[in-house]
Chain A
Amino acid sequence: MKKIYLFLLALVCFAQIAVADIDKSQAMKMVENVTKEGIEQIINSNASIEEKNKIFRQLFTQNLDLDFIGKYVLGRYWRTATPAQQKEFIELYKELNVQTWSKRFDEFKGRQFVFEGTSPANNPNQIFVDTNVPMKEGAPAVVKWRVNNVNGKLKIIDIIIENVSLAQTARNEYTSFIAKSPKGVEGLLENLRTKVK
């Protein structure tokens, strides 16, 4: 009996190590594709803003878990929002990110991401892909990608540039806005609509 337990224990440990290894390489590969296709190819091309936005929209939908990010960003207000407001928020937030990032990634124009490996997150279903971007001067910019594994499907849920988490920043900003707005979540939606029109 004891031998069977030991065998099962060994099997579980082996399976976990094997899964973790697959996750790491898959996560690295996925982020590498995003940086290659999204940043190094799109940003470095001479495409128009509209064209860049279109490609970014496609890239974001494929590789970012925008539902997850949207829920996290709204924090406790997600539960008080109506399903229609939740749906609209995710759409508006996605569009705002598409517009923002096609401009913001311009900063990395002409540069290449250097992949340094992965590091563990608190949540066992998540992992950080660690990269850096050599800059014109000084130390390279540290960019970490938080990748979430839901049923074997890997999606990016946060990008952390020089310790600044985009999801955390949006969450602090939006929840602070809602808390002060007399219209609550609707006030935020009204404001976002003007940003993305």
Chain B
Amino acid sequence: MIYFASTYILYRVNVKEEGILNKVLRQYIAFLCVFFVAGCASSSQTEATALENYNRTMFNINNQLEKVIIRPVAKGYRAITNEYMRQRLTNFFNNISEPVSAANHLLQGEWHNSAQNISRFMINTTIGGLGLYDVAAKAGLEQKPTGFDETLATWCVPDGPYIILPVLGPSTPRATTGWVADGYSSPAYWVANESNGEDAMLVYYGAAGLKYLNKYAENLKLIEGLEESSIDYYEAVKTMYLQNRGKIKSCGKIVAQSTPDYDFDMDDED
């Protein structure tokens, strides 16, 4: 229920305008709420199978969407940009998310990292040309990104089942809650929301889209290679995604580090 509650609160608090973007967003968040309640409640084998069936279907739909729209756009984007430009954009978006990381580090009790986020933000926004250059890293202040997902993990909130979200792809209820919270707690969102209504929001969502397109384009070769070499692409993505999430500290410790925890023995049953 915590997923439902937090997502619903964010939805009620932040959706002020009645423009088309907010309508679409509201419908999407409402869908997530219903979906999460259903997802968290599912415990029996039949429900797990139903979730797996849904996930595979949605994964295939997303995959088609990716091939028809996202991948050609990403290829076009790569053709008109070079690595230098993409790197500047990555730095810019990373810099915008520093305040969100700082706030979440505070919520996690990581004062030192929070101070580092704030220092980085101040240095990179000024000397680093609005965050286009990561000057702070060169001065020894390395990036320490975090988000509400990791904060929830620190508070011992379980991850929940693996789910494929429409368009967005692999996730879990906790990861999605974190993603929505990070989006709404971003200073960029508040500036856009308070300034000029629908037009400013359009710029905000456009920038968010560009951020993901930039990230996707940077990893395009890796994604294509993985799909090409996979026997069961859905399962490969699922296991990689969940193993990678094992890095996140839950209740202050890493609980599912994939490497030393399993005894590398062929007799292990699945």
Contact = CB atoms under 8 A, between A and B. Distances in A.
A172 B246 contact: no
A176 interface: yes
Nearest to B241: A164
B114 to A, nearest CB: 17
B48 interface: no
B40 to A, nearest CB: 23
B39 to A, nearest CB: 20
Given A162-B247, A163-B246, A168-B243, A122 B263 contact: yes
Contacts of A128: 259-260
B94 A164 contact: no
Contacts of A107: 221-222
Given A71-B266, A137-B143, A139-B143, A176 B244 contact: no
A130 to B, nearest CB: 10
A69 to B, nearest CB: 9
Interface stretch (B2-10, B30-38, B229-237): B229-237
Given A76-B269, A195-B229, A168 B142 contact: no
A75 B247 CA distance: 25
B49 to A, nearest CB: 12
Contacts of B269: 75-76
Range of interface residues on chain A?
A: 35 or more
A20 interface: no
Nearest to A138: B143
Nearest to A191: B231
A2 interface: no
Interface string B239-260: 1100110110000000001111
B94 A168 contact: no
Contacts of A137: 87, 90-91, 94, 134, 137, 143
A72 B265 CA distance: 6
Given A76-B269, A123-B264, A164-B244, A172 B257 contact: no
A76 B270 contact: yes
Interface stretch (A9-17, A30-38, A96-104): A96-104
B231 A192 contact: yes
B268 interface: yes
B236 A163 contact: no
A74 B265 CA distance: 11
Interface string A140-159: 00001010100000000110
A164 B245 CA distance: 9
Contacts of A119: 260
Q: Which of A123, A138, A173, A192 has the most chain B CB atoms closer than 10 A to its own CB?
A: A173
B225 interface: yes
B97 to A, nearest CB: 12
A123 B263 contact: yes
B243 A165 contact: yes
Interface in A166-197: 167-169, 171-177, 180, 188, 191-192, 195
Nearest to A76: B269
A100 B225 contact: yes
Contacts of B236: 169, 172-173
20 contacts: A68-B266, A103-B225, A120-B260, A123-B264, A123-B265, A128-B260, A137-B134, A146-B259, A148-B264, A158-B264, A162-B244, A163-B246, A168-B262, A172-B238, A173-B231, A173-B236, A174-B232, A176-B235, A177-B235, A191-B231
Interface of B: 83, 87, 90-91, 94, 134, 137, 142-143, 145, 221-222, 225, 229-232, 235-236, 238-240, 243-244, 246-247, 257-266, 268-270
Given A163-B246, A171-B270, A172-B236, 9 more contacts: A75-B266, A96-B229, A123-B264, A136-B87, A163-B259, A164-B243, A172-B235, A172-B238, A195-B229
